[in-house]
Amino acid sequence: MTRADRSRLPAVGPDPAFRLPDRARHRLANGLEVRTVEHPTMPVVTMVVQVDGGTGADPADREGLAAMTADLVDEGTGSMSALDVSDAIARIGGDFDLDVGSDSTTFTLTTLTRFATRGVALLADLVIRPSLREADFERGRQLRLDRLRQLKDAPAAVAERAFLRLLYGTHPYGHLAIGNDASLRAMALEETVRFHAETFRPDRATVVISGAMRHDALLALADSAFGSWTATHAQGTTAPPAAAIVPSASAPRLAVVAREGAAQSELRLGHLCARRDTPDYSELLVMNAVLGGQFVSRINLKLREEKGYTYGARSGFDWRRGMAPFSIHAGVHTAATADAIRDAINEFDEIRGGRPATEDELVLAKASLTRGFPRNFETAQQVARGVAQLALYGLPDNYFEEFVARTNAVTTADVTRVAQQYLHPEQLTTLIVGDLAAIGGTLDGLGLGAAQVLPADPDPAPAH
C-alpha cells in the first residue's frame, strides 16, 4: 500500500490532447450542407438545423420577427397541433430546443438511436412545413408582450436592452430577440409566413447529425428528411446579413436609466471590439480571463473582494459574425456607483500596459479556459452544437482540437498586445440603471461628460 504525500499538492502535468469524434462534410443535391459526426458512446442521436437569420435579420420596424417565427415552428405541422408535437417528441424520448441568436436560428432534437428516423422526419416537418396558425401567433404574441412588461422590472434586463441600443444604434444587432412592444403589436401572421419563406431555405441552412451511427447512415437520415427541401422564395431578395453592415452608432460616454429609490446600480461598460473569427480569439479570451472572466480576475477582486461594492463583477465578449461588444457587468451598491465605475475603467486601462498581466495571472487564466474544455464535448448534443458553431462562424474543422494548444501558447506580451489593439478606454460607453437623484452629483468627477438620461420605459404600451 502506497501512502499519499499530503504535505504538498500533486504536480500538474500538461493538458492531454483533445480530439472531437470523427466528422465528415456533405452537400445534398438541393444545396443543403450536412455535417455528420460519429459519436458511439451512447445510443442517442442529436440533429441540429441551423438557419442563417437570427435577430440580425429582423426588419428595422419589426424587431422580434425572427424569434416570433421560430417560436411558431413547434406549434404544429400539417394536422398536428402544439400538443400533438409535444406528445410526438415525448413518445420518442426526445428533447427539443430552439435558440435565436444574433446571426442564426438553431433547432435541436435529441432522441434514442432507434427512433432516429422518426425524430429527423419530425424535425424536418417542423422546420420546413410549420403550420403558422393565427391562433398560435396571437397566443405567442401575447406571451411576449407579457414578458416584456416583466422585463421592465428587472434592472439587468433593462440594462441589456439599453446597452445594446447605445452600442449599435439602429444596426440590426441593436436589440434583443424578444423585440419591443410597438413592433409586436404591429406584427401580423403574414409577416412570419413571409419571413419563414425568405429565410428557411436549404441554401441558408446547415444540418448537423451526431450519434451512434456510421457516416453513411447519418447522411442517409439527413437526405431522407431534408433532401426534398426546396426554396419557396427567390434567392437574393432578402436584406444583407447583419455582419456585413458596419455599425455607425455614436454612443455617449455616459448614460443613465433612472430608477427612483433603487438600492443598487446595474452597470455596463464597454464598446464594440472584434468579430468571432478574429485570429486573436485565444489571446482575447486569456486577456479577458485576467481582466474579468473568472472569479479571481482583477475586476472581481477589486470590486468585490477589496472594495465590497458588489457580489460579483465580470467582463466578457458577446460574440457575433460581425463586430461584437466587449463589456463589464456589475450590480453595485448605489452609494458606490461612481467609485465602482472609476475602478472598473482603471482596470480596463491598466491591462493595456500600465500593469501588464503577470505570469501567475496567465497560469490561472489559461487553466480556467483549458482544464475543463473537454467537458464541453461530452455528449452527442454538445458535439453537434459545437460543429454547428464551426459552420456558423466559418471556422476550420480542426478548430477545437487546436484550441488548448493555441491558448497555452499565449504569452504576457500577447495579452498586452491585444489589450492595446482591441481595448480603447476613450471609447467606453458607461450605462447606469439606478437612482439618478442619489448618484447624479457623484458622476461629474468621472470625466465622462454630461450623462444622457434615457427613458425608463423605451417602449411604453399604448393606452387601451
How far apart CA 357 and CA 415 sit, in angstroms, is: 7
DSSP one-letter code for 444:
G
Cα radius of gyration rounded to whole Å, the chain: 24
| Torsion of Cα atoms, 228 then 232 then 234 then 238, to 10° | -110
Tell which residue, 356, 284, 295, 290, has the closest CA to residue 317. Answer: 284
* CB-CB neighbours of 398 under 10 Å: 12
Strand partners for 100: 105
Tell which residue, 384, 335, 289, has the closest CA to residue 46. Answer: 384
Identify the H or E element spanning 397: none
Grid cell in block for residue 432:
447606469
The predicted structure's pLDDT at residue 234: 62
Note whether 23 and 377 are within 8 A (CB). Answer: no
Q: Which residues contact 57 (CB under 8 A, 6 or more apart)?
A: 65, 66, 172, 195, 199, 238, 239, 241, 242
Q: Which residues of the chain have pLDDT under 70?
A: 1, 233-239, 249, 458-464
Grid cell in block for residue 400:
477545437
How are strands ordered across the β-sheet holding 254-258?
Answer: 310-317, 324-333, 264-274, 429-434, 254-258, 452-454
Which domains are delineated in the chain? 23-239 (3.30.830.10), 254-454 (3.30.830.10)
Q: Which residues contact 426 (CB under 8 A, 6 or more apart)?
A: none
pTM of the model: 0.93
* CB-CB neighbours of 389 under 10 Å: 19
How far apart CA 28 and CA 11 sit, in angstroms, is: 50
The predicted structure's pLDDT at residue 1: 64
Tell me the residue type at 269. Answer: L
The residue with cell 454630461 is: 450
Tell which residue, 55, 319, 71, has the closest CA to residue 180. Answer: 55
Tell me the residue type at 406. Answer: R
The predicted structure's pLDDT at residue 323: 96
Note whether 109 and 95 are within 8 A (CB). Answer: yes
The predicted structure's pLDDT at residue 247: 86
The predicted structure's pLDDT at residue 464: 37
